[in-house]
Amino acid sequence: MALDEKREKSASFTPMMIEEDAALRNGSRGLSGQWADAVGVRPRTTERHITVHKRLVLGFAISILALLVVTMIAVLLSVRFEECSTAAAADSPARASGNGSLPGAARLNHDAGEPPGRQEEAPGEEEEWQRRRQPPPWTQLRLPRHLRPLHYNLMLSAFMENFTFCGEVNVQIECLNASRYIVLHAHRVHIEAVQVAEDKLSGAVRVSSFFLYPQNQVFVVVLNRSLEAQRSYNLKIIYSALIENELLGFFRSSYVLHGERRFLGVTQFSPTHARKAFPCFDEPIYKATFKISIKHQATYLSLSNMPVETSVFEEDGWVTDHFSQTPLMSTYYLAWAVCNFTYRETTTKNGVVVRLYARPDAIRRGSGDYALNITRRLIEFYEDYFKVPYSLPKLDLLAVPKHPYAAMENWGLSVFVEQRILLDPSISSISYLLDVTMVIVHELCHQWFGDLVTPVWWEDVWLKEGFAHYFEFVGTDYLYPGWNMEKQRFLTDVLHEVMLLDGLASSHPVSQEVQRATDIDRVFDWIAYKKGAALIRMLANFMGHSVFQMGLQDYLTIHKYGNAARNDLWNTLSEALKKVGKFVNIQEVMDQWTLQMGYPVITIMRNETADNIVVISQEHFIYDIDAKTRDPDLGNNSYLWQIPLTIAVGNTSHISSEAIIWVSNKSEHHRIAALDETSWLLGNINQTGYFRVNYDIRNWRLLIDQLMRNHEVISVSNRAGLIDDAFNLARAGYLPQNIPLEIIRYLSEEKDFLPWHAASRALYPLDKLLDRTENYNIFNEYILKQVAAMYLKLGWPTNNLNRSLVQAAYQHEELRREVIMLACSFGNKHCHQQAATLISDWISSNRNRIPLNVRDVVYCTGVSLMDEDVWEFIWMKFHSTTAVSEKKILLEALTCSDDRNLLNRLLNLSLNSEVVLDQDAIDVIIHVARNPHGRDLAWKFFREKWKILNARYGEALFMNSKLISGVTEFLNTEEELNEYDQALQD
Ligand SMILES: [Zn+2]
């Protein structure tokens, strides 16, 4: 799953928000809520007793009669169970359920008479467990382990005209320990009937009662007798539910084609939402095979993980698609869709058919062609890298207008939000192309890491997300070999970014214990993704890339179609090292990095008397040093890591090859060869390690001198690393503030993008911090001076990028863009004039000649400096453009205004989802909050509209938390904090 990542594009964007059919949405949730509430248990037919002294003949006659009745019931039942898939089309699925008079099949009664909110447990069941002094199995947070699913047969009918669906699921289950209970997940579905039978035999196991237990989102079937161990059974459930107007489970969204609104239904099951679409064992460890059939109107098409095997057309305009059976897989990456998209396709050299499905107008324009093309190449790349072929006959990429995440890696049917997959080459910037590319590389990596081999449980979600995030850089390097993504861009976009978060006292370990379903969304955070990726990169570097790759090949081969925990990975990688004669206990090393939060700062101090002896010490790096005195857990020195510290010695023209020192104690002495008075030391070569390095001041001065004299002796990644370490060490009080500012003095000679990028990322927060202080002007002048020379040297891009040049020009164009952005943000007059000229030319000629790669900077600068007419012009363009990339930057530009009335107008308009897409609305609010003129407006808006926002995003927690952290990023005062608490409680 790819989270919606925004690479920082410009310093001061403003945001906005949304309001739409919150009422409708509440309505629909209310309905399903009522369903859940009204589901009650119908008393089972009472046992009848027949007196023993009836005559034998009568007894015999009754037996025959009973047999006949049972046979008839069985026939009736089978007809009844056909109902969902065959008859339901004519008969809306929202129909009242049967009256429960069918014996044998248990039915839920949801008469209006049931009091809402009542517990649905079977009468007597709970007392029974209380007597045994044991908690009932359905009250456990995890499913009881006595059953496991082997195969699901799922037949669905989707009714797009009223957004409902019904289904019949047959689960073949194996009983591991005898029990009278079947407990599986189901949430917000309406169960109509349940039947249990011994597998392959006709003998039914009588259902005593069944009920939903909403607290744990489970469904419980109580049987009259125990299921026996080592036998398998068939569980049949008929149910119905809504195709919700929210972003989880089986949900709907829409788009406009030729002035007409069209709807589609699509699923998002990860991590715990498959249970909203069908009753299932919804934990990743329960892998099973799935056979899915979907019945829908013939005007739509349906898609699922596997290809369609057969389609059966009916005369009434309905069609049933039967999909091939899946390999063993978990529920969270199962998927289906019902839509009327069109597609383009390609085939890999191993015969995997790749299709991209999207709105017909986007397909016609060719907006999916870039994604389709790189997907084919990337499948070939991964097959070669992992030495494991792609597992399914096809892969569909589905571009949907609305989705809670950037994308989801469903096996064979990956779903992307349009802005992360559609690309119009004539109007996309490099950074947009990079975003699209990396999201696709990420989801494709999951086809192996996640889908083929699945983490055992969500605490190790980083095992799949960390890998997918790391491979975003490795895979992009395959597509664009000159870009050095893994060696360079990884540093600013992942390592520096996550060390900011993980240096807070409130951070958490990358492996997080989690049990409750409603907490599971929260483990998908930047610590799991970015720290996971940074740790994997450190591991790959200290193992050596080729051994690491061999280890991954073994890991995937051993665990394919199964589950694996972190220790399985560590063991396989230790074995791989052993094969090349190295003995490192990877588990011992990595447990310290994954089970402890935060990271160390290493300090290298020279011994004053003996120049070639250094003292290397480690401590837990934390921004708020006082937190260690307040919190004994943080302060008790128990945080230690085994650190693969690489180190090199340099002088004016030369740097030594690196040596590795494993640092595992609080403080250690080491002898460094060739270290003399004039040479400097550099730690963490190419910043492959997940830690910071500090030195004595003399060494910092030597490094600064070296940068000023000949910076190229130190690698690009280390130049960026020194800048980031220095600014952050100073921020946390480990280093005087003048050191980082002295380091960036050499930038006027820096021709590489990465050190500039590292510097600008450190400078923008400092700019905000110093804003309105007396020293601000000095700081501002100083930065402008550093930028001026390079700004003059590079100038502005003169024309649009030629796609064929992108690869070679990437470094140069990204550097030019970075410098222009700094110049315009810090108030370079020429930069402002140039932006205004370009905007004026666009307005007067109605031809947009603004170079693609700096459009966002120009739009934002124009809106913030020029009058209201420019804002109106951009607003108009936002409406008229159809290209998603352009739409996004136009919208962000609108948040750059200084005019509070305009910002307010934008905030209010953003709640209208006809105007601003749901996921974009969040960006609008966050960007308004980042604009100094809009901060309090966004905050006020957030407080006033909290209920609407919360109702709209509901369980899509990540979006909510992104919104909350975005808006509260700039809260400073106690009063604001209180208001914030109050808003969330209301
Ligand atoms: Zn992912």
Please give the angle made by the CA atoms of 220, 223 and 225, to the nearest 5 degrees.
Answer: 150
pLDDT in the model for residue 514: 87
953-985 residue pLDDT tens: 655 544 445 555 665 555 555 565 566 666 555
Q: How many angstroms does the Cα of residue 464 sit away from the middle of ligand 1?
A: 7
Report the candidate in 856, 4, 778, 124 with the shortest Cα–Cα distance to residue 436: 4
Q: How many angstroms does the Cα of residue 16 sit away from the middle of ligand 1?
A: 27
Distance CA 453, CA 564 (A): 7
pLDDT in the model for residue 190: 96
Whether 160 contacts 263, CB under 8 Å: yes
- Within 8 A by CB and 6+ apart from 842, the residues are 848, 849, 850
DSSP state of 89: T
pLDDT in the model for residue 402: 83
pLDDT in the model for residue 680: 95
User: Is 496 annotated to bind ligand?
Assistant: no
pLDDT in the model for residue 646: 97
Q: How many angstroms does the Cα of residue 461 sit away from the middle of ligand 1?
A: 9
> What dihedral angle (degrees, nearest 10) is formed by the CA atoms of 789, 790, 796, 798?
110
pLDDT in the model for residue 164: 97
Q: How many angstroms does the Cα of residue 406 sit away from the middle of ligand 1?
A: 9
For each successive 10 residues of the chain (986 residues), what is the average pLDDT? 57 27 28 28 32 49 59 48 44 33 41 35 70 87 96 98 97 96 96 90 85 95 94 96 90 90 96 96 98 97 98 95 98 98 97 97 95 98 98 97 89 94 84 92 98 96 95 96 92 95 90 84 86 97 97 98 97 97 95 96 87 91 82 74 97 91 95 88 98 97 97 97 97 94 94 95 81 81 93 85 57 91 94 97 94 93 94 94 86 94 94 79 85 86 81 56 58 58 58
- Within 8 A by CB and 6+ apart from 300, the residues are 158, 160, 338, 339, 340
Burial status of residue 899 (CB atoms within 10 A of its CB: 0-12, 13-18, 19 or more):
middle
Predicted TM-score of the model (pTM): 0.85
189-215 residue pLDDT tens: 999 999 999 876 667 899 999 999 999
Q: Residue 206, Cα to own-chain centre: how many angstroms?
A: 43
Strand 190-198 versus strand 179-185 pairing type = unpaired
Distance CA 846, CA 841 (A): 8
User: Is 465 annotated to bind ligand?
Assistant: yes
pLDDT in the model for residue 69: 59
Q: How many angstroms does the Cα of residue 211 sit away from the middle of ligand 1?
A: 35
Q: How many angstroms does the Cα of residue 60 sit away from the middle of ligand 1?
A: 65
pLDDT in the model for residue 322: 98
Q: How many angstroms does the Cα of residue 499 sit away from the middle of ligand 1?
A: 20
DSSP 473-514: HHHHHHHSGGG-IIIIIHIIIIIHHHHHHHTSTT---SS---
**Which positions are annotated as active-site residues?**
443
Structure tokens at 188: 């917000």
Whether 11 contacts 767, CB under 8 Å: yes
Q: How many angstroms does the Cα of residue 373 sit away from the middle of ligand 1?
A: 21
Q: How many angstroms does the Cα of residue 442 sit away from the middle of ligand 1?
A: 6
Q: 787: part of which helix (H) or strand (E)?
A: helix 776-794
Whether 616 contacts 668, CB under 8 Å: yes
pLDDT in the model for residue 155: 98
Determine what percent of the chain falls in helix, strand and coil, rounding each to the nearest 5: 45, 20, 35
570-620 residue pLDDT tens: 999 999 999 999 999 999 999 999 999 999 999 999 877 776 899 999 999
Question: Computed from CA positions of residues 136, 140, 145, 148, in that sequence, does the dihedral angle turn out positive or negative?
Answer: positive
Q: Per DSSP, what are the bridge partners of residue 455?
A: 564
User: Is 110 annotated to bind ligand?
Assistant: no
